[in-house]
Amino acid sequence: MILRLALALLIAFSALHVPSGVLHAQTEKLEVADADTVKTVLERHAGKRVSVVLSTGQELSGTVSKVTRDALHLTELAGREFFDAVVPLDKISAVVIRVRSR
């Protein structure tokens, strides 16, 4: 009886602590059209985590909150969870998007 309870607890604990990426190993496809700009790619990834490489070489990772005509609003910054960032679109050199997991 105790062994069954311990086994059930172990299974429940494991299920709760396995990263969701492992459970749902989907591959998101990044598609870029001829007319795409940094702005349109970021708009399509609203609510998702991205990294942007700035013209200074600095990289910021966070969740795309909003994209305006001239700026990107990132929330939940990696390593700075209590901070948001507003980045001028003309200062972004690259957008890095995770499309697969191991």
Q: Please check whether residue 79 is in contact with residue 65, taking contact to mean a CB–CB distance below 8 angstroms.
A: no
Residue 88 has pLDDT above 50, yes or no: yes
Residue closest to 48 by CA, chosen among 33, 36, 35, 30:
30
- The span from the CA of 50 to the CA of 35, in Å, is 21
- The span from the CA of 88 to the CA of 22, in Å, is 34
- The span from the CA of 68 to the CA of 87, in Å, is 10
Query: How confident is residue 66, by pLDDT bands cut at 50, 70 and 90?
Result: very high
CATH code reported for the domain at 24-96: 2.30.30.100
Residue 102 has pLDDT above 90, yes or no: no
Per-residue pLDDT, averaged over 12-18, amounts to 53
Q: Please check whether residue 61 is in contact with residue 51, taking contact to mean a CB–CB distance below 8 angstroms.
A: yes
Q: What pLDDT sits at residue 13?
A: 54
Q: Which has the minimum average pLDDT: 15-19, 52-56, 90-94? A: 15-19
**pTM of the full predicted structure?**
0.68
Which segments within 1-102 are labelled E, that is strand?
Answer: 49-54, 59-67, 71-75, 85-88, 92-96
pLDDT in tens, 34-63: 888 999 999 999 999 999 999 999 999 999
